[in-house]
Amino acid sequence: MTESTLTIKFKGAQGDILDELVGRGYFKTKSEAVRAATLLLGEKFGVLSLEGLRQSILKDVARRGRSRSDREMMAELQLIEDST
């Protein structure tokens, strides 16, 4: 698995959207929201299949050694559903 580290500044609408996603509790951090968005883009452009995306989320949960809350999982699954 490749690891990439980025430092990004979001301004305007993109920053507002990240703040809103975290503020509503869909993600614990902006980094988690960006990671989920990257997976969705991968699915949209055919880099990942929908099933591959689900498997990636499950692997991420296993790697972290913690379970996501029902609300977090539902938010990510809803994003997947909405993107197809």
pTM above 0.75, yes or no: no
**Domain annotation covers residue 49:** yes
Is 18:10 a contact under the CB 8 Å cutoff? yes
In the chain, how many domains are there? 1
**Domain annotation covers residue 7:** no
Question: For 29-84, what is each residue's pLDDT tens digit?
Answer: 999 999 889 888 887 898 878 787 677 777 877 777 766 666 777 777 777 777 65
Q: Does the pLDDT value for residue 18 go beyond 70?
A: yes
**Domain annotation covers residue 76:** yes
> What is the structure's pLDDT at 16?
96
Range of the domain at 62: 12-83
**Domain annotation covers residue 1:** no
